[in-house]
Structure 1
Amino acid sequence: MASVTPTSALPPSTAPPSATNGDVEMTAPSANGDDEEEDPNKVPDDAVETLYIHNLNESVRIPILKETLLNLFKSYKPIAPVIAHRNLRMRGQAFISFPDRETAHKAKKEVAGFPLYGRPLQISFSRTNTDAAVSKFNGDEALAAHKAERAARKKISRRKNPLRQKAQAKLKAAAADSSATGQPIANAPRRTIQMPDEYLPPNKVLFLQNLPEGTTKEDLQDVFEQHPNLIEVRLIPTKRDIAFVEYADEASSTVAKDALHNFKIDGETKMKVTYARK
């Protein structure tokens, strides 16, 4: 793998914990792996211009990881941006696109196994291209169709989620029992009315709602520490879609609130940020 030479600009392997960035969710990698390729020099028929990279060191911050991967693949002229997320489902993974399938195949062969931050890279072809690659190769209309197809896949996936189906079945059974006995459903979800932001007085503590599944304390710290005077992030163990963020003063919390209300941590779910109730 002589053609891959990391530059001296690569960050050290002792980089601090991760960040959350990016707004594209990719599908699973292609089934074409090294073990299934009869001729290692032949580009698989279903290969795309995007590579799926995994076994990445999860302790490296996302911005540093993206920069490192761009430097590592620099000679193959990668198409920015590198796609990597810190959420639970996407940790230790990234997607990077190239000008053509042949270049992607060459990069895959020559860089696979490279020890990046102490872990050998595992590389295969992605099933689909990144949004940046779709836009570059096929134009804006194709990108819109690509996003619509992805949204449809997600909707079907959520609907078929076993945990969701189990919860719905439990609610239906409880509703049936309630109808038969005339008793209210125990533990039925209650609709809470949220006071509009404008009626909540300024507060140095922010209340976060609608956090995507898998959001960690580190994810939120990486987002909110971009605004000065952050003191603490507090998660609620029994309620994983909410959290509290405290700043040193009301002015700092107001800046963060205005900047991050409706921010998409996972690239698709809008986070609600209001002042906390005093």
Structure 2
Amino acid sequence: MDYNSLAACTLYIKRVDPERLNSEAQVQALRERLNLIAEELETHPVDIIVKRSLKRKGQAFIVYADPAEAATAKDLLDGFEFTPGGRTLVCELARTPSDAVVKRFCSEEQYNEHLKKRKYEKERRQAAEDAEQQARKRAAPEDTTSGLPLKAHKPAVKQAVVPDEYLPPNNVLFVREIPDEYDEDALVAMFNRYAGFREVRMITAGRFAGNAFVEYDGNDGAISAREALNGRTVGAKTMKVTYQKAG
């Protein structure tokens, strides 16, 4: 099965009974109940994940072996009365593949790459949230008598700046801290071993002189090159390889 189609194997359920998810035993009980309901509806999950972190408490994922069964389960479970006279399930297909499905249908190399990407996206989202929180703190005026932020007359919050190391992947890399003895040919030799390499563009003027852009045909080669070369020490310098900023 193609990697890009694997997301459709997983059903995402929003906020399933979050008020009663305060222990691992309660999480396990909810997992078992969801599995029982799914099987009573004649669908057969291969994995069920229940979240209890502060931000995602009550979210659940039901993983199936193929997209058709997941679509059937969505039709059956969306609007299902989970508690008598109370909460009903709200379901949609997941946007990203689950670990269980990738491990089941993909090679070990693809599975490890999937885990890397998932970890990267998690760190990038966290960095963006932290940056936004810091921007809001800086933008909030303080009451000089109490030291507390004023609620009225808040200035517009500036858009949070995501640190370079957490910029979203694209096919162009920005390379800094290049060893003084490295010219364009040396960088080509370093970066052209990764799939889809297109060119190196050295910056020769302005405040970014001495840095370079490296372009690939697609994101995959750029991702592989960044993972391999970012932080590599060459001579007296440690190279910094990030994705080019959008715009």
Q: TM-score, normalised by structure 2?
A: 0.46
Higher relative contact order (CA 8 A, sep 6+): 1
Greater Rg by CA: 2
